[in-house]
Amino acid sequence: MNLPGTPAWRRRVAFVFIGVGTVVASRAISHDLPHEQTFVFRLDESERHEPLKLSASFVRVGESEPRAGVSLTRDGSEHGDLRQTLDLPNGDYVVTVEWGHVGKGTLAGASDAKESETSRVERVTLSGGETIVLLPKRVSE
């Protein structure tokens, strides 16, 4: 059986097919590889200089177990927002954040600690960059 074209032409076509196959396979595999993702937890301006304790979990959409979790504590002397860098694959995630202000007596009594806690659930799409999670001011009655 004779194949069409010259041997040099067939070699070039084979290299093109190998190259295209390599690119397709690497893109499919890279979807599940972890990338550096930076999360910025943006507090309300009036709450940026208060001591607080924050915990967050990151669950990929369609999964039941968190891919990662983080706990942060700040004493109120820091400037700017809370930042955390994690290695997670790109995709859609449900971020559950719980935070509470840590003050005098808050850690001593469990009922006081529960009173000052706030939580938020947000869906985010990670693409290897910086993701901002807004933490709205707690509404007091």
pLDDT tens digits for range 56-103: 999 999 999 999 999 998 887 887 888 999 999 988 999 999 988 777
**pLDDT at site 75:** 84
* Torsion 119-125-126-129 (CA) sign: negative
**pLDDT at site 139:** 60
**For residues 34-45, b (16+ Cβ closer than 10 Å) or e, as one string?**
eeebebebebee
pLDDT in tens, 107-126: 444 444 444 678 889 999 99
